[in-house]
Amino acid sequence: MSLLEVKQLTKRFGGLVAVNKMTFEINKGEIVGLIGPNGAGKTTVFNLISGIFPASEGNILLNGRELKRMPAHRRSLAGIGRTFQVVRPFEMTVLENVMVPALARNKSTKLARQKAEKVLEMMGLDQLSDSEPGNLTLAQRKRIEVARALATDPELLLLDEVLAGLNPTEVAENLPIIRQVRDSGVTIIFIEHLMDAMMSVSERVLVMDQGALISSGTPAEVTQDACVIKAYLGEEDPQC
Amino acid sequence: MITKKLYVIGAFVFLLLLLIPLFFESTFVLHMYTLIFFYTALTAAWNIPAFGGQLSLGHASFFGIGAYAGAILYVKYGVSPWIGIAAAGAFAMLGGMVLSLPLIRLKGPFFTLASIAFAEVLRMIAIDWRSLTNGSVGINIPFKPALMNLTFQSGKPFYYISLTLAVVVVYLTYRIRYSALGFHLRAAASDDEAAKALGVNTSLAHFVALMWSSAITGVLGLFYVFYIYVLEPQTIFSLDLFSLQPALNGIIGGMGTVWGPVIGAVLMTPLGEFLRFYLGTIQQGLNYVVYGLVLVATVRFIPGGIVSLLAPMMKRKSAEKAAKPAIEKEAR
Amino acid sequence: MDLYAQVLVSGLLLGGVYALISIGLNLIFGVVRIINFAHGEMVMLSMYLTFWLNYFFGLDPYLSALIVLPVMFAFGFLFQLFVVQPILSTSATMKIFTTVGISLLLQNLALIMWKGDFRSVQTSYSMSSIEVFEIIISVPRLVAFGAALASIIFLYCFLKYTYMGKALRAIVEDHSVARLMGVSVEKHYLFAFGLGTMFTALGGVLLVPFSSVFPTVGITYTLVAFVVVVLGGLGSMSGTFLAGLFIGVVESFGGTFVSPALKEAIYFAIFILVLLVRPQGLFGQGKGTEEVGLK
């Protein structure tokens, strides 16, 4: 059964169509990559699903429930977690950062602290609990971003370039996290520009170009797709 | 260790404050301390929405509403101010609700502006609605000393009342800051969108913060008017005294922190009184020129307020706190 | 019926001046993206300047614009250079406090230098009026409206047709892109602040023949300008103009039929109502509104 259904999703900014009639489904337990050239509208899709801004047209259903009129915080409570491409830690300690989502679900600071400690340990961040995120490396801050999203106990997690900007060693360190998260039973959609990483982790890939979905399938399938090659390399193909 | 030391120092200061009226008969000294306590409480109450980054320059509204509620009930209907406290808090909270309407859509400067306008409007209504408020003449609290009337022969009871208010309100803001609400507010102040994406209803958090703040401020207004006996719309809704002053104390001490308002009020109240009496008599307005300069300079040079200057000490404190659980873990 | 028409006309005439003051605010906001709480103090200063030029040199208020406008342009320019520029990258709170501090400073400097008295200029035409269709129109108000309208049209053309104006509009549209296109953004900030202040000052000058000046007069105009700008839509010039007229009319009707003392209460009610019903303003809003917290 599909966890997320997106139907004819469209977003216009003035005259610009950022997302154009996207339709796709995500099954429970899947790990799906969302790729496309810069400016294809990938982050906008995340923003629409997580409710950062409203869709111009179309429907978004989570477990068959319409999300369209739901504000961002209620979508989070309904089970949609997300990270931001540009990390956005709060000005508080790492532990407190991760306590925030827990406290949005349960008023007890004691329980929230326990929950946050558990998540931080899972993410290998327990040593940094009392640091200020501002003083940490980008790789560490990206982990905090994921930890915070995980502390929302999401059914569906939207990861926006959690590997971008990291050096190869850091990528190697952070990559297992994505698998680890999936192994904990969370359904994942993730945007990534590092193709190797993307292909090695995802079961299925959605390809976007200029706001529209142009291809989907297994990593092997989409790399063979003429339309995808055209989107990336600009080669002419009469079929596309 | 340092945390403990701070507690010991705090307890010592509190004891000292309890003893002061026994040694100082001077009404001036008592009055100054009472004012400091009032402003500490007022600034702490102002600071609750500021945890969430909302800057009010209209707290005189709630202060005034509470003061009027208490005074009208007492003078016109003979209701004891002790019962009036509930009304003062409730009506001020109602005012907070009205002001929170724009909060649904507004953040930052526009909320600040709405808060200024709100106090102005209330002042005008208080002047205009003569049948209820006595217009610009205001209301005098008759001098009938009795505990029930919240009126006393000496200044000492109010010294203790205001001290109690200050301690209770500061304690309340401490509790709020470290509660779920406090976390939500701090997250919202830091990054509203990210907070929402994590499930925090930031609008609700701002609203609840304003409810607490307005209710507390209303109660303070009631006590204040029974302390000074006179209630004039021009004074009680004054931008300078009860809107700007707590904000100034807050920013100078450290906005959005628990101790900032205390430090700000303790430093600024005597300074403010001094400036008002000395500079203000030399030249009307001179004291506010100094205020304006202090404000601009503080924002420019110590944007985190005085608390941020004490940060190195706090850092050590939190480092020790962090070390403690680690040791406990090892012990297990 | 006559009374209604009379009140409507007075309101529209006053609204023209409000529109002018608000357009100054909107221009500064649109380009520099700062909410200036000391905006009303610009009105206050230009009113005083006009008053003193008349007091000492017998200069006609309208003629004094030739001096007041350049002076206030320079004032705005320097204000941007020394006060706003250094705090542009700081938080909203810091910006609010700085401009509030400046507003407090200017108000009280005015109080020290010029005392708290209400001062006004009596000219030969202060009390004169003309009658059209049995409606009495005060001459200074008519002049104010005409001048306001003319300068708003001038500003509109300036923004539309000159290079400088186009650069300013580009900055309003997108700061970073404008910068990439070779527009020296900081330089234009200075100019925009000067220009905005100058238009605001003209509003002040035009008010002098029929309203008095005192140190705290600015608060009212700050409030009016903000209500107008929110109502008209941030960044929208035509919206600001129409909203200015609307607020003028509302004030006029409120003052006549409700109570002159409650005019600010009426503004506030409108302010809240607009935000609840149509937060983008009656006429839509421009870019950059999210940066200052209006969403």
The helix-helix angle for C39-57 and C217-232 (nearest 10°) equals 130
Chain B neighbors of C90, CB-CB under 8 A: 299, 303
Residues, chain C:
295
On whether residue A25 sits in a domain, the answer given is: yes
On whether residue A6 sits in a domain, the answer given is: yes
Which of B110, B257, B298, B308 to mutate against chain C (most C CBs within 10 Å)? B110
* Residue C294: strand pairing partners: B106
Contacts of C197 (CB under 8 A, 6+ apart): C24, C28, C42, C72, C73, C75, C76, C77, C79
Task: Decide if C109 touches B, using CB distance below 8 A.
Answer: yes
In the structure, what pLDDT confidence band is assigned to residue C282 with cuts at 50, 70 and 90?
low
> Whose CA is closest to A101, among B200, B148, C286?
B200
On whether residue A110 sits in a domain, the answer given is: yes
Encoding tokens for residue A127?
Answer: 């040593």
pLDDT at B323: 45
Query: What does the pLDDT look like over B299-323, one tens digit per residue?
Result: 888 888 888 888 666 555 554 444 4
Burial of C187 (0-12, 13-18, 19+ CB in 10 A): exposed
Chain C neighbors of B293, CB-CB under 8 A: 101, 105
Query: What does the pLDDT look like over A148-206, one tens digit per residue?
Result: 999 999 999 999 888 888 888 888 887 887 777 878 889 999 898 877 777 788 889 99
Chain C neighbors of B110, CB-CB under 8 A: 35, 226, 230, 275, 292-294
Sign of CA dihedral A82, A83, A89, A92: positive
Is residue A143 within 8 Å of residue A129, measured between CB atoms?
Answer: no
How far apart CA C14 and CA B331 sit, in angstroms, is 77
Question: Taking CB atoms and an 8 Å limit, are C35 and B113 in contact across chains?
Answer: yes
Nearest CB to B200: which of A91, A104, A130? A104
Of these ranges, B75-84, C87-96, C174-183, the one predicted with the greatest mean pLDDT is: B75-84
> Whose CA is closest to C202, among C144, C244, C121, C241?
C144
Task: Decide if A111 touches B, using CB distance below 8 A.
Answer: no
Encoding tokens for residue C64?
Answer: 């004094």
Average pLDDT of chain C is 79
pLDDT value at C111 more than 90: no
How far apart CA C261 and CA C240 sit, in angstroms, is 25
Q: Measuring CA to CA, how many Å separate A139 from each of A84, A170, A210?
A: 14, 6, 30
pLDDT at B106: 66
In the structure, what pLDDT confidence band is assigned to residue B105 with cuts at 50, 70 and 90?
low
Fold of C2-292: ABC transporter involved in vitamin B12 uptake, BtuC (1.10.3470)
Distance, in angstroms, between B325 CA and closest chain A CA?
A: 11
Mean pLDDT of B147-160: 83
Domain segments of chain C as ranges? 2-292
Query: What does the pLDDT look like over C1-55, one tens digit per residue?
Result: 577 888 888 888 888 888 888 888 888 887 777 888 888 899 999 989 888 888 8
E strands along chain A, which residues?
A: 2-13, 16-27, 31-35, 57-62, 65-66, 80-82, 156-160, 187-191, 204-209, 212-217
Which of B103, B121, B239, B249 to mutate against chain C (most C CBs within 10 Å)? B121
Query: What does the pLDDT look like over B198-215, one tens digit per residue?
Result: 999 998 999 999 999 999
How far apart CA B294 and CA B311 sit, in angstroms, is 21
pLDDT at A158: 93
In the structure, what pLDDT confidence band is assigned to residue A236 with cuts at 50, 70 and 90?
low
How far apart CA A60 and CA A48 sit, in angstroms, is 9
The helix-helix angle for C39-57 and C92-114 (nearest 10°) equals 20
pLDDT value at B332 more than 50: no
Q: Measuring CA to CA, how many Å separate B73 from each of A197, B63, B134, B222?
A: 71, 16, 13, 11
Chain A neighbors of B187, CB-CB under 8 A: 90, 92, 100
Q: Measuring CA to CA, how many Å separate B3 from each of B169, B259, B315, C53, C235?
A: 21, 14, 11, 63, 51
CATH, residue A205: 3.40.50.300
Average pLDDT of chain A is 86
How far apart CA C167 and CA C180 sit, in angstroms, is 12
Question: Taking CB atoms and an 8 Å limit, are B199 and A76 in contact across chains?
Answer: yes
Minimum mean pLDDT range among B243-247, C66-70, C120-124: C120-124
SS3 at position C248: helix
pLDDT at C11: 86
On whether residue A97 sits in a domain, the answer given is: yes
Question: Taking CB atoms and an 8 Å limit, are B292 and C261 in contact across chains?
Answer: no
Query: What does the pLDDT look like over B289-304, one tens digit per residue?
Result: 888 888 888 888 888 8
Nearest CB to B124: which of C95, C230, C262? C262
Query: What does the pLDDT look like over C182-235, one tens digit per residue?
Result: 667 777 788 888 888 998 998 888 888 888 888 888 888 888 888 888 888 776
Query: What does the pLDDT look like over B258-270, one tens digit per residue?
Result: 889 999 999 989 8
Distance, in angstroms, between A18 CA and closest chain B CA?
A: 20
Nearest residue of C to residue B299, measured between CA atoms: C94
How far apart CA B162 and CA B224 sit, in angstroms, is 9
Average pLDDT of chain B is 84
Of these ranges, B57-61, B231-235, C270-274, the one predicted with the greatest mean pLDDT is: B57-61
Q: How many domains does chain A have?
A: 1
pLDDT at B175: 93
Nearest CB to B128: which of C83, C101, C261? C261
Residue ranges making up the domain that contains A53: 2-233
Mean pLDDT of A220-239: 70
How far apart CA A154 and CA A146 sit, in angstroms, is 11
Task: Decide if B183 touches A, using CB distance below 8 A.
Answer: yes
How far apart CA B331 and CA A35 sit, in angstroms, is 49
What are the helix (H) ranges across chain C?
Answer: 2-32, 39-57, 61-79, 92-114, 139-161, 163-173, 175-180, 185-207, 217-232, 237-253, 263-277
In the structure, what pLDDT confidence band is assigned to residue A117 with cuts at 50, 70 and 90?
very high
Question: Taking CB atoms and an 8 Å limit, are B198 and A109 in contact across chains?
Answer: no
- pTM strictly above 0.80: yes
Task: Decide if C97 touches B, using CB distance below 8 A.
Answer: yes
Task: Decide if B193 touches A, using CB distance below 8 A.
Answer: yes
Mean pLDDT of A75-83: 92
pLDDT value at B282 more than 90: no
On whether residue A238 sits in a domain, the answer given is: no
On whether residue A239 sits in a domain, the answer given is: no
Task: Decide if C114 touches B, using CB distance below 8 A.
Answer: no
